[in-house]
Amino acid sequence: MANFFTVDILTPYKVVAKSIPAESLLLQTVKGQINVLPSHTHIVTKLATGQLTVFGGADDPDRHFSISYGTCKVLNDKVTILANTSEEEKEIDVERAKLALKNAEDKLANSSNMDNDEIEKYRRKMERARLRIQMAEFVRNRKV
């Protein structure tokens, strides 16, 4: 087990995943994509909205999660992801994501009387909905 570490994914609303065994982790930071391997240097970094992939190795399946901005801490053999929202790919409701995307696009199309914070809120909602749709399509295509 020396070539593995564990991953926790937490949001303010729930524990998405706890102690997932991983031989590597691929995630999107605000400065670009990084790959975390066993014995990785200790870091704390800001996450961007994107896909997080936990590679489980021969005995554990790979798992994919949507992450909307947050923080990643790598310390010893533990990676902790604190995200605003997160869900595993198999939990994604595509119809809900499409509805959220349309709603966010409509709000942004009529943003002339919104302040900058509200515009940013709907941009993030749109970004998150697009990611969820993309991940769901990836799963569907993988099964074909």
Assigned fold of 5-89: ATP Synthase; domain 1 (2.60.15)
pTM of the model: 0.82
* DSSP per-residue string spanning 26-52: EEEETTEEEEE-TTPPPEEEEEPSEEE
Residue 94's pLDDT is 87
Q: How confident is the model at residue 29 (pLDDT cuts 50, 70, 90)?
A: very high
Q: What is the pLDDT of residues 91-115, one digit of tens each?
A: 888 899 999 999 999 989 988 888 8
- Single out the residue of 47, 60, 39, 57 nearest to residue 9, CA to CA: 47
